[in-house]
Homo-oligomer: A and B are copies of this chain.
């Protein structure tokens, strides 16, 4: 089909969509077009049943025995292996644990051991702030270490990569703009300068194809509650390339990362392999949510997801251009497919109120200060006609200046 220009065109695209049946795997409230799966993915139907099973059977009946009998002890590894196949990692290279923030701390301190004599961690001023904060926390404890930031206004990565740089930490897909780095090219650029490459895949896992080992990446962290639909605050993950695992230790050296956690010896001895990145006891109800969603993902072809994702984001940008041109929205997300993830961001000086007005109409996106409206496009449960409806709602909000209503200007603590 050429570019769709009517809702009927969009409906035709939905009928031809090979992923259309996946929508039924989700619980989605009526009257909602959910464009915030880049912040919190919706509830897969299988999840409620799986969580209930863990609560009522594994915990309620199995009690302490479930640490063995239900495989609780191994969940960080078994879920890590499932997730590995979605990000181009191998078995034994990923564990699911803690938060993205905590995992980045482990990785920064661990990676520093591989580059003695260097003492700079590079990131970008526009990286997701918690990454910057964790780098601050980690470098504050590493003797002589500094944080050095690139920025769109300069300096560039090429400007800052010198023989002091131990590692570069970047988020693959920018949380505000949706801009996507070239994973392979950046990894190569960084490693050519003698540094290690650490990727944050928060906005990539389940959203775009990722091939960590293909790119030769060193470490990665990421979150599972966005495109992976693991549930609010579901546990994060950490990847360490096999070649590095037994060369490093990490300072959050809790008993689940010990070589013999149930020997209860007083001295820490790191487990072999990726398990040494574990720390404390895993929150198993939250693991249950992720487990159900990863089972759903197991049958999904990521190339098909990417193809539809690009079609959805292209359609949104096209329709915004056609229908909302006169209200001066700036499309911040790159039009070039290779340069964007699975979201589209629009700049508008009244963006906060516009997003609130859209939410009242059931079109849920979100806002990032000072002026960005973010819309996530998630191929498993979103259709082309919904994109049409979202743009129609946006046009109405702008055309009738609905965003001027006072109730859309009271800011809640979280948006």
Chain A positions within 8 Å of B, measured between CB atoms, are 27, 29, 32, 34, 36, 39-40, 42-43, 47-48, 51-52, 55-56, 58-61, 63-68, 72-73, 98-102, 105, 109, 125, 129-130, 132-134, 136-138, 140-143, 149, 223, 225, 231-236, 250-255, 258, 262-268, 279-289, 359, 364, 366, 368-369, 412-415
Residue from the list B72, B100, B235 in contact with A232, Cβ < 8 A: B72
Do B63 and A40 have beta carbons less than 8 Å apart? yes
Do B251 and A138 have beta carbons less than 8 Å apart? yes
Q: List 16 A-B contacts (CB under 8 A).
A: A29-B60, A34-B63, A43-B60, A51-B55, A55-B231, A59-B231, A65-B359, A72-B232, A98-B280, A105-B251, A125-B266, A130-B280, A136-B267, A225-B281, A264-B369, A283-B283
A127 and chain B: residue at smallest CB distance: B266
Most chain B C-beta atoms within 10 Å of own C-beta, residue among A68, A232, A288: A232
Do B48 and A64 have beta carbons less than 8 Å apart? no
Roughly how many angstroms separate A82 CA and B268 CA in the complex, as a whole number?
34
Across the interface, which residues of B come within 8 angstroms of A281, CB to CB? 99-101, 223, 225, 232-233
Do A102 and B36 have beta carbons less than 8 Å apart? no
Q: A73-B413, A109-B141, A149-B266 are in contact. List 15 more A-B contacts (CB 8 A).
A: A40-B63, A58-B232, A63-B364, A73-B414, A98-B99, A98-B280, A99-B281, A100-B280, A101-B252, A102-B279, A136-B267, A141-B142, A233-B281, A233-B282, A235-B283
Do B137 and A67 have beta carbons less than 8 Å apart? no
Do A232 and B133 have beta carbons less than 8 Å apart? no
Roughly how many angstroms separate A255 CA and B109 CA in the complex, as a whole number?
19
Across the interface, which residues of B come within 8 angstroms of A369, CB to CB? 262-264
Most chain B C-beta atoms within 10 Å of own C-beta, residue among A61, A100, A253: A253
Most chain B C-beta atoms within 10 Å of own C-beta, residue among A255, A265, A287, A359: A255
Across the interface, which residues of B come within 8 angstroms of A136, CB to CB? 253, 267-268
Can you list the 7 inter-chain pairs with the closest CB atoms, starting with the nearest?
A99-B280, A101-B254, A101-B280, A283-B286, A130-B255, A137-B253, A137-B251
Roughly how many angstroms separate A389 CA and B32 CA in the complex, as a whole number?
56
A67 vs chain B, min Cβ distance (A): 4
Across the interface, which residues of B come within 8 angstroms of A252, CB to CB? 101-102, 105, 134, 137
Do A132 and B27 have beta carbons less than 8 Å apart? no
Do B289 and A55 have beta carbons less than 8 Å apart? yes
Roughly how many angstroms separate A208 CA and B346 CA in the complex, as a whole number?
56
Do B59 and A232 have beta carbons less than 8 Å apart? yes
A156 vs chain B, min Cβ distance (A): 17
Do A68 and B255 have beta carbons less than 8 Å apart? no
Most chain B C-beta atoms within 10 Å of own C-beta, residue among A223, A282, A289, A414: A414
Most chain B C-beta atoms within 10 Å of own C-beta, residue among A99, A136, A263, A289: A99
A225 and chain B: residue at smallest CB distance: B281
Roughly how many angstroms separate A252 CA and B264 CA in the complex, as a whole number?
26
A182 vs chain B, min Cβ distance (A): 23
Do B134 and A253 have beta carbons less than 8 Å apart? yes
Residue from the list B47, B132, B285 in contact with A288, Cβ < 8 A: B285
Roughly how many angstroms separate A284 CA and B253 CA in the complex, as a whole number?
24
Do B98 and A141 have beta carbons less than 8 Å apart? no
- With contact pairs A29-B60, A61-B29 given, residues A101 and B279 touching in the complex (Cβ less than 8 Å): yes
A70 and chain B: residue at smallest CB distance: B232
Do A52 and B59 have beta carbons less than 8 Å apart? no
Roughly how many angstroms separate A232 CA and B48 CA in the complex, as a whole number?
17
Residue from the list B32, B129, B253 in contact with A264, Cβ < 8 A: B129
